[in-house]
Structure 1
Amino acid sequence: MGKARTHPMTHITRRMFEFLEPICLVTYFADECNEELAALGHRTYWDGYFAAVPHRWEECRRRSCTRPSTAFSKGEAARHIPSAWETIPPEASVAARERGSAASLRRILSDELVNNPGLVRAAGLTTKAAMSAPTEGRVMYAAMRTLPVPSDPAARLWHSATMLREHRSDGHIAALVGARIGGIEAHVLSALEQGIQPPESFGRIHHLPKKRLATVMDGLRQRGLVDSDGRFTDTGRATKHRIETLTDELAIPPYEALSPDELDELIAALEPITSVLVAAGSQ
C-alpha cells in the first residue's frame, strides 16, 4: 500500500498558521486584554478568558457550558461559566477582548507597521479568507462569524486571524476525535512532541489528580502510543503526525477563496508583522 498523498494546499495552511498564530497570541500573552477584562469586573484570568470567548452563548448555557475543546479538562469551563456572565454580559467581554488585543498589536508593532499599507492589505486578505469558509461542523468558527468585522485595520487583522484560528481549531478537534484522542490525551501527545518529560508535568495538565493522569497514561500504553517510560512509540509519533496532517488539510477551505497571487501577497505582507511579534513574544 503506497504512502498517502497530502493535499498540495497543506503547506499553505501550515505557513498561514505560523504567520497568524503570533497575532492571535497577544490576547493571552500581552497585558492589554487582561486589563480590559479586569476593568469590566472579572475576578480572575480564567473568568475573563471563558467569558470573552464567543461561544454560542445560549447553547452553552443549555449544555452546562462545557466547551468542545481539547484545551481544557472536563468541567473546567463550567467552573467559570455561566457565573462570569451573571453580572457582565458576554457581549461586553467579547468587545473588551477585541479592544485589548488590538491595542496590544498597535503597541508591539508601533506606528511604522500599524500605519503601513501592508498591514491594511494583510487585514483585508485575511478577512476575505476568514469570511469564506463553510460553517458546518465548526462551532467556534461559526460563533466568530456572527460577530461584526472591525473597521480599524489592526483590530480587523486580529479579528480575522482569530476567526481562522478557530476554524483550524475546530478541524483539529475533529482530527483528534477521529483518532480517538481525548482532551488530556491530546495534551500528553503535545507535551511529548515538545520534548516535555514526563508529559504529566505539562502546564495544561500537571494540576490534575495523579490517579487520573495515571489512568490516561495507562490507556495510551495499552494502545501502543507511549512506551513504559512514557515516551512516544513509533505508533504514537505516527498517530500525532496523522492528526497534524489532517488538521492542515481541514484548514484549507478559507484559503481557497484567495488566488495564488493573493496568497503570495498575504504572506509577504504578514512576514514583517509576524517577525516583530515573534521577537516580542506576542507580549
Structure 2
Amino acid sequence: MTDPRAGRRCHNPLNALHSAVYFSPEFDAEMEALGLPKGPGAYFSAAGYFGARSAAMGAVGPGTVTATFFNFAHALVARHVPSVWAVATPDQLLAARLRAVDKLLRRLLGDAAAASAETAEAAGLARRAAEGCDRAGRPLGAAELDQPVAREPHVALWQAATVLREHRGDGHIALLTHAGMDGLEALVSHTASGRGFTPVFARATRGWSEEEWSAAAERLRDKGLLDAAGELTEAGTALRADLEHETDRLAAAPYDGLGAAGVARLTDLAGGLAAVALGNGAYPAGIFGRG
C-alpha cells in the first residue's frame, strides 16, 4: 500500500457499521430477552455490551474486560462481569448479538440491500482482509477472527468489520500504553479532539465521575497535552496525530493483503452502506463532538 491512510479510510465506514449494533433497540431487545435489561438512564445495555463484546474470549473476568476495552472504569465493568455469565453464556450472547445485527442492518439498509450482490461483494472483500489480521498481541481481534462466519452476507460483512475494528483497536491500545496514557486520559484527550464522544456521553457510558474526569484532565495538563480551557495543545494534537499514524501502520497488514484495488473497492462499497445506515439513524443524536 503506497498510502498508509488508505486502510483508515476503509476502516471508518466499516467501523460505523460495526459499532451501530451496540446503540440499537434490536441489541437491547435481544439482551433483555436473555435477562439483561437496559439499565435506568443508560444509553445501552451495559451488561449486554460487556458480555457480548467480550464473549468471543469466553467467560473472562472483569480484569480482562477492563484491560481489553481500556477506557471503561473498572468499577463499572466489575458491576456486570462476571455476574453476566450467570445469566447468559458466551455462546448465547454471541448468538443474540448476531440476531441483533441481522435485524438492525435489515432495518437500516433494507432487505434488498442487505441481500444484494454489492453487500456480498463487500463481505467477501472484508473477510479476505480480516483473514490477513495477525493474532499475536491482539486479544479481541483474534477472538473475533476465530468465530464461524455467517451465511447471510450482511451479517458476514459485520463480522469481518468487527475483526478489523478489534484488530485495529488492540494495536491502538498498545500505542496508548506505550505513550504513557491510561484509559481515562486517552478518553479525555480523544473527546478534546472533537472527533469522539461528547464528554457527557463518554462519562455516562464509561463509568467515570466528573471528579475522575477532571483529575485526568489535570494530568494531561501536567504533561503539556491539554490547555487550561480543556483543548488539546500543539503537543497534544501532534501526539494524537502520531498515534493515529502509528495505528494505521500497525493495522496495515489486512489491507496490504487485500491490495490497493481491493481496498478502494471495499471502501466504496462500505462507504455507500454506511452512508445509508447513518442516514437512517444508526446512532443516537448528540453523542459525538464537543458537546
* TM-score of the aligned structures, taking structure 2 as reference length: 0.86
The 8 Å contact of residues 30 and 104 in structure 1, kept in 2 or not, is answered as: yes
The 8 Å contact of residues 50 and 77 in structure 2, kept in 1 or not, is answered as: yes
CA distance in 1, matches of 2:51, 2:270: 29
Aligned to 1:4: none
- For the pair 1:33 / 2:27, whether they are aligned, the reply is yes
Moved more, 247-256 or 208-217: 208-217
The 8 Å contact of residues 18 and 161 in structure 2, kept in 1 or not, is answered as: yes
**Secondary structure of residue in 1 paired with 2:5:** helix
CA distance in 1, matches of 2:143, 2:91: 12
Aligned to 1:56: 57
CA distance in 1, matches of 2:35, 2:112: 34
Moved more, 184-193 or 62-71: 62-71
CA distance in 2, matches of 1:62, 1:279: 36
Structure 2 counterparts to residues 247-262 of structure 1, below 5 A = 247-262=247-262
Aligned to 2:288: none
**Letter of the structure 1 residue corresponding to residue 194 of structure 2:** Q
**Letter of the structure 1 residue corresponding to residue 202 of structure 2:** R
Deviation at 1:77, TM superposition (A): 1.7
Deviation at 1:37, TM superposition (A): 1.4
Moved more, 63-72 or 235-244: 63-72
Moved more, 152-161 or 23-32: 23-32
- For the pair 1:134 / 2:134, whether they are aligned, the reply is yes
Where does structure 1 lack aligned partners over 5 or more consecutive residues?
Answer: 1-6
Aligned to 1:204: 202
**Letter of the structure 1 residue corresponding to residue 179 of structure 2:** A
CA distance in 2, matches of 1:187, 1:257: 31
**Letter of the structure 2 residue corresponding to residue 57 of structure 1:** G
- For the pair 1:218 / 2:218, whether they are aligned, the reply is yes
Number of residue pairs matched?
274
| 1:264–1:208 Cα change, 3 Å | closer
| 1:89–1:266 Cα change, 3 Å | same
2:15 pairs with one of 14, 21, 24: 21
* TM-score of the aligned structures, taking structure 1 as reference length: 0.89
**Secondary structure of residue in 2 paired with 1:94:** helix
CA distance in 1, matches of 2:126, 2:80: 32
CA distance in 2, matches of 1:73, 1:8: 39
CA distance in 2, matches of 1:233, 1:64: 33
| 1:83–1:179 Cα change, 3 Å | same
CA distance in 2, matches of 1:261, 1:212: 46
CA distance in 2, matches of 1:142, 1:64: 14
Aligned to 1:91: 91
Aligned to 2:237: 237
Aligned to 2:4: 10
Aligned to 2:179: 179
**Letter of the structure 1 residue corresponding to residue 24 of structure 2:** A
Where does structure 2 lack aligned partners over 5 or more consecutive residues?
Answer: 39-44, 284-291
CA distance in 2, matches of 1:195, 1:136: 29
| 1:242–1:208 Cα change, 3 Å | same
Deviation at 1:221, TM superposition (A): 1.4
Deviation at 1:51, TM superposition (A): 1.1
Deviation at 1:89, TM superposition (A): 0.9
**Letter of the structure 1 residue corresponding to residue 138 of structure 2:** R
Deviation at 1:195, TM superposition (A): 7.7
**Letter of the structure 1 residue corresponding to residue 136 of structure 2:** E
Structure 2 counterparts to residues 124-163 of structure 1, below 5 A = 124-163=124-163
**Letter of the structure 2 residue corresponding to residue 221 of structure 1:** R
Larger radius of gyration: 1
Deviation at 1:14, TM superposition (A): 1.3
| 1:270–1:183 Cα change, 3 Å | same
Deviation at 1:229, TM superposition (A): 2.6
| 1:195–1:279 Cα change, 3 Å | closer
Identity among equivalent pairs (%): 31
